[in-house]
Amino acid sequence: MLIAIPDLLSADELGEIRQTIDAADWIDGNVTSGHQSALAKNNEQLPEDSDAAQRAGRMILDALGRSPLFFASSLPLRIFPPLFNRYGEGQEFDIHVDNAIRIKRGSEFRIRSDLSVTLFLEAPEDYDGGELIVEDHYGAQRVKLPAGHAVVYPSSSLHKVTPVTRGRRVASFFWLQSMVRDAEARRLLFDLDRSVQRLTGELGGKDRSVIELTGVYHNLLRRWADS
- Enclosing domain of residue 193: 183-224
Q: Per the annotation, does 137 bind a ligand?
A: no
Cα separation of 195 and 211, whole Å? 12
Parts of the chain with a pLDDT under 50 = none
Q: Per the annotation, does 35 bind a ligand?
A: no
Q: Are residues 115 and 38 in the same domain?
A: yes
- Say what the pLDDT of residue 1 is: 87
Number of domains into which the chain is organized: 2
- Say what the pLDDT of residue 36 is: 57
pTM of the model: 0.93
Q: Are residues 143 and 192 in the same domain?
A: no
Cα separation of 130 and 93, whole Å? 9
- Say what the pLDDT of residue 38 is: 60
Q: Per the annotation, does 159 bind a ligand?
A: yes
- Say what the pLDDT of residue 107 is: 87
Q: Are residues 124 and 171 in the same domain?
A: yes
